[in-house]
Structure 1
Amino acid sequence: MTPFPISETSPIEHGGCLPDSADVVVVGGGVTGVMTAYWLARAGQRVVLAEKGRIAGEQSSRNWGWIRQQGRDPDELPIMVEANRHWRDLAPQLDTDIGLKQGGVLYLGETEKDMADFEGWMPHARARGVDTQVLSRAGLADLLPGARGVWHGGLYTPSDMRAEPWLAVPALARLAAKEGAVIAENCAVRAIDVAAGRVAGVVTEAGRIKAPAVVVAGGAWSRLLLQAHGVQIPQLSVRASVAASDPLPLVADCGVAGSKLAFRRRADGGYTFAPSSFHELFIGPDAFRSLPKFVTQLKGNPFGTSYRPAAPQGYPDAWGTPRRWDADRSSPFEAIRVLNPKPNMGKLFQLKAMFARMYPDLPPVRFHTAWAGMIDTMPDVVPVIDRAESLPGLTIATGMSGHGFGIGPGVGRVVADLVQGNDPGHVLHRFRLSRFSDGSRIDLGPAL
């Protein structure tokens, strides 16, 4: 169970020949793409999932592993409640113990404003039947015995869960393949094939696949592929660093997040640590183009993002990354099979010191692994889940904004029904692509 993000050196699990045609092609092997393929295959669709590198090679194996209803945007919450249910149903069907456990999620209230924000979210929890509760100082002390700190209280959802993402998403992919989905790793989609103004399939590095429907669920790479086809989406990617410790005594069975430090226990007895509200943006051409859309987010959390002058070579928003290419030649998606950014070790060592102050009686924390991932984020911190009006046959599921792992089974089910023309079962107006071009105000999701 030792955590280690999947990388380009990880063995290929899904290879073999691609079919000449399919009902749907899914681009991207993260949790959203995998679960979309799963639900489509369950519905009897001939579905191909193409991943340029490895299943879960990027953010889907690099996240915190939280399966969190708490603090969700009110329009995301119904899908997340559904996803929570799917996780419980899916785990027994998998060929691997993914460490799924109901331990709850706890937010620490460090200020009176925090407590007011917690109270403000409670009506959404009650409306959806989520068992969230606002804790007093005494209630917090019962949940975190031995912790040192000055808190006003907390927000706690006992039914929230956790799992080990580097195990869970590959196991879900194997389940999708068992249901009939064709999955191809190390197989980049270079372009969407278009005929008579609508989707006709995709061009992969291994050849063309004819299909009347394509789903783009490419995470940090979605914008690069979409804009090559004239579909503009103001998505940027930020670096988030994470570390895993050696085993420690049990101090909290729930995921815990304050304003600077977040941690959760893992199945191997260690803890996963991350900065709770700190990300790094590499400045590139897309960042400049999208700046007007992100102004509201920047004003709402001006110190939550640190800026770096330029992305490393080959990154989606690097200055030298091509925006146009010939589909019959190697594409930017083949240049970097797995986006594997270096973690910010200085920030992670700060977390170690914060945890030591919170639990001074524990043995020293030792990190045995550290990594980073690129989170695909949107100006309002909620995803795009929509059909592209300008290109019939194209469905977009991206910009999960760091919330994708937990909600993945729910979003995949919704997207599968969208593709098939079925009722998705939820109101998706909040997630429409046109909100960034129709004059709508940028309405930030809750900063919880």
Structure 2
Amino acid sequence: MMRPYADKVESDPSVPAAVDIVVIGGGIVGCSAAFWAAEQGHRVALIEKGRIAGEQSSRNWGWVRRMGRAVAEYPLGIESLRIWDTLAQRTGHDTGFCRTGVVYTAQTDAEMAWIETVRRDAQTFGLAAQSLTPAQLSDRFEGASLTARAGLYTEDDGRAEPALAAPALARGARTKGATVLTGCAVRSIETKAGTVSAVITERGRIACNAVIVAGGAWSRLFLGNLGIDFPQLRVRGSAMRTAPIKGGPAHALGNGAFGIRPRLDGGYTIAQRGRSKVQITPDSFRLFGKYLGSLRENRGEISLTVDRSMWDGLVTPRHWQPDEISPFEKCRVLDPEPQEAALAKAMRAVQAAFPALKQATITERWGGIIDVTPDAVPVIDPVDEIPGLVIASGFSGHGFGIGPAAGQLAGELATGVPTLVDPTPFRLDRFGGAMLKAAE
């Protein structure tokens, strides 16, 4: 078993004394925010406790889609696709982005109903989504043995390479003047008269006017130490990739059993679609009331799993002082084991659908932790109680494709300029009050 590779970004050697904006988190959203802010001329420090794209930003499927999202995310998806087109030129580095189309297929009544909902949503937002009959699916996927009653195709959607994209943005931000620090945890935030004034890192203090928390699955823990109740649970996913092989699909494809997309190297990234493995942790009990509606609505798509995350949650401190070693220094990268049975099942389904892939060689398998909000829509929002603090987390497995626009939106909120989309659907207060009533 091998872990997913991400293009390595070296850390800058020194910590700046002062910047305008500190971005916490070196995933696709944090790197996008840092790149946009640096491009606008702001002094930026991008700070990552581990390595750039070390967690879910290098472990996702690599789809760049507008279709099939929560309605609130469509504007971000549309803007992100436009931004993806420009990133290689603007950063000076390849992201692997190309518009090769995305196809969903449906076999069961529930899948048929979902595809019809997606088709209507796409139409509402002016997207060219083409319905496909079984005969048209056969023509599009020549040599395949797809069992489907219908399909939906968006020609302009595409894919990018998780191993390249966030590193390209981080390097682009550095070229625009940003400082990039890896292997450096932010322990806490300082305020002056209630407003953000600095961050305290394990390597020293950095004065700043604004902080963007794009910490992925770590955001709840970091924000909780500041007294902010950010509802977030963790879902464990798995994926794998093949060596280069001919005869597979030219489009990213998702059905009830698997997701597959062509890779830049000629191989495929494959994962199981369907039931998500929600990790049972102490936060599962603390947040049960907020997630109850989602559990009821998605009970057929969710399974609960107990693994070492329960123990980790019990022994990880929830509060610490700025001069103490933080949990982020004790665990730099979340690196769960892949779910071998789920991957084997997905591979069998892929090979049944695409006989040419029966000869495929699996070169990597990996696990990843997805951070999920109660409504599976991210929070991209300033914290009213701490002016200068912006949250950009909770992307619920949808963050890679919309990362460029989400990062820009976070940067716009941090700098007070007009936003590229309406940020209202991403407000934190839709889950209730932001600040904890008392320290726990």
Q: What's the TM-score, normalizing by structure 2? A: 0.94
Segments of 5+ residues of structure 2 without an aligned counterpart are 435-440
Alignment deviations for residues 142-172 of structure 1 (CA, whole Å, 9 cap, x no partner) = 2222222431111111101111111121011
Give the 3-state SS of the residue equivalent to 1:426 in structure 2: coil
Q: Does the Cα contact within 8 Å between 1:256 and 1:264 map onto a contact in 2? A: yes
- Residue 211 of structure 2: aligned partner: 214
- Residue 166 of structure 1: aligned partner: 163
Q: Distance in 1 between matches of 2:17 and 2:420?
A: 32
- Residue 44 of structure 2: aligned partner: 47
- Residue 28 of structure 2: aligned partner: 31
Task: Select which of 398, 414, 423 maps to 2:418.
Answer: 423
**1:6 Cα deviation after fit:** 4.4
Corresponding position: 1:62 with 2:59: yes
Q: 1:246 to 1:175 in 2, by over 3 A?
A: same
- Residue 295 of structure 1: aligned partner: 292
Q: Does the Cα contact within 8 Å between 1:383 and 1:397 map onto a contact in 2? A: yes
Superposition pairs for residues 334-413 of structure 1, below 5 Å?
334-360=329-355, 362-413=357-408
Task: Select which of 210, 230, 234 maps to 2:231.
Answer: 234
Segments of 5+ residues of structure 1 without an aligned counterpart are 440-448
Superposition pairs for residues 211-360 of structure 1, below 5 Å?
211-312=208-309, 318-360=313-355
**1:86 Cα deviation after fit:** 0.7
Q: Distance in 1 between matches of 2:417 and 2:91?
A: 27
**1:340 Cα deviation after fit:** 1.0
Structure ranking higher in helix proportion:
2
Q: Distance in 1 between matches of 2:306 and 2:77?
A: 36
Superposition pairs for residues 169-180 of structure 1, below 5 Å?
169-180=166-177
- Residue 14 of structure 1: aligned partner: 11
Q: Distance in 2 between matches of 1:438 and 1:226?
A: 13
Which letter does structure 1 place at the counterpart of 2:262?
R
Q: Does the Cα contact within 8 Å between 2:93 and 2:172 map onto a contact in 1? A: no
Q: 1:22 to 1:314 in 2, by over 3 A?
A: farther
- Residue 201 of structure 1: aligned partner: 198
- Judge which range, 303-312 or 334-343, deviates more: 303-312
Q: Does the Cα contact within 8 Å between 1:119 and 1:134 map onto a contact in 2? A: no
**1:11 Cα deviation after fit:** 5.3
- Residue 442 of structure 1: aligned partner: none
**1:110 Cα deviation after fit:** 1.1
- Judge which range, 225-234 or 71-80, deviates more: 71-80
Aligned residues: 433
- Residue 83 of structure 2: aligned partner: 86
Which letter does structure 2 place at the counterpart of 1:34?
C
Corresponding position: 1:5 with 2:16: no
Q: Does the Cα contact within 8 Å between 1:310 and 1:319 map onto a contact in 2? A: no
- Judge which range, 274-283 or 230-239, deviates more: 274-283
Alignment deviations for residues 174-198 of structure 1 (CA, whole Å, 9 cap, x no partner) = 0111111111001100111123222
- Residue 121 of structure 2: aligned partner: 124
Q: 1:260 to 1:345 in 2, by over 3 A?
A: same
**1:279 Cα deviation after fit:** 2.6
Q: Distance in 2 between matches of 1:142 and 1:173?
A: 41
Q: Distance in 1 between matches of 2:333 and 2:236?
A: 14
Q: Distance in 2 between matches of 1:171 and 1:379?
A: 31
Alignment deviations for residues 81-129 of structure 1 (CA, whole Å, 9 cap, x no partner) = 1110111111234444332221111111112343333233334323433
Which letter does structure 2 place at the counterpart of 1:238?
V
Q: Does the Cα contact within 8 Å between 1:27 and 1:214 map onto a contact in 2? A: yes
- Residue 443 of structure 1: aligned partner: none
**1:362 Cα deviation after fit:** 4.4
Alignment deviations for residues 248-269 of structure 1 (CA, whole Å, 9 cap, x no partner) = 2233111111112111111122
Q: Distance in 1 between matches of 2:47 and 2:274?
A: 32
Give the 3-state SS of the residue equivalent to 2:197 in structure 1: strand
Q: Distance in 2 between matches of 1:139 and 1:265?
A: 20
Q: 1:362 to 1:322 in 2, by over 3 A?
A: closer
Q: Distance in 1 between matches of 2:305 and 2:71?
A: 32
Q: 1:120 to 1:204 in 2, by over 3 A?
A: same
Q: Distance in 1 between matches of 2:323 and 2:363?
A: 43
Q: 1:290 to 1:341 in 2, by over 3 A?
A: same
Q: Distance in 2 between matches of 1:11 and 1:265?
A: 23
Which letter does structure 2 place at the counterpart of 1:165?
P
Alignment deviations for residues 400-444 of structure 1 (CA, whole Å, 9 cap, x no partner) = 1111111111111111111111121322221110001169xxxxx
Q: Distance in 2 between matches of 1:249 and 1:17?
A: 47
**1:12 Cα deviation after fit:** 5.3
**1:201 Cα deviation after fit:** 1.3
Q: Percent identity?
A: 42
- Judge which range, 12-21 or 66-75, deviates more: 12-21
